[in-house]
Amino acid sequence: EAGVTQFPSHSVIEKGQTVTLRCDPISGHDNLYWYRRVMGKEIKFLLHFVKESKQDESGMPNNRFLAERTGGTYSTLKVQPAELEDSGVYFCASSQDSRRGVTETQYFGPGTRLLVL
């Protein structure tokens, strides 16, 4: 079974440009999450999809970030326009549909390293 995949693995862009990150969850996983780790800091939650719906987007930094999950399969995270402080590693994770009262384990992708110059 294929794991969570992310594309690209690395991206270097200039301030003001646009970047789109993609995440393909494990097949059959309804839950998809985006996290970000800025250098030297904790991995922080960005948002959570259940199928194609945004369940929780409380961690999104500002309106320069737009996440979509059309059709409930893969997801994209677009940063437009990118700023210097957006640099970091963006992780995607997926999990199965939560059973009543049970939190399912999240499986992570390898991350996308974004550097904004």
> Which residues bind to other proteins, rule: CB under 8 A?
3, 31, 33, 35, 40-45, 48, 55-56, 59, 91, 93, 98, 103, 105-111
Rank residues 55 and 80 by Cβ distance to other proteins and give the closer one: 55
Rank residues 11 and 31 by Cβ distance to other proteins and give the closer one: 31
Minimal distance in Å, beta carbon 18 to other proteins? Answer: 26
Minimal distance in Å, beta carbon 65 to other proteins? Answer: 16
Are the CB atoms for 14 and 105 separated by under 8 Å?
Answer: no
Rank residues 82 and 93 by Cβ distance to other proteins and give the closer one: 93
Characterize 37-67 residue by residue with b for buried, 16 or more Cβ atoms within 10 angstroms of its Cβ, and e for exposed. Answer: eeeeeeeebbbbbeeeeeeeeeebeeeebeb
3-state helix, strand, coil in the chain (%, to 5): 5, 50, 45
Q: How far apart are CA 50 and CA 103, in angstroms?
A: 14
Minimal distance in Å, beta carbon 69 to other proteins? Answer: 15
Rank residues 25 and 109 by Cβ distance to other proteins and give the closer one: 109
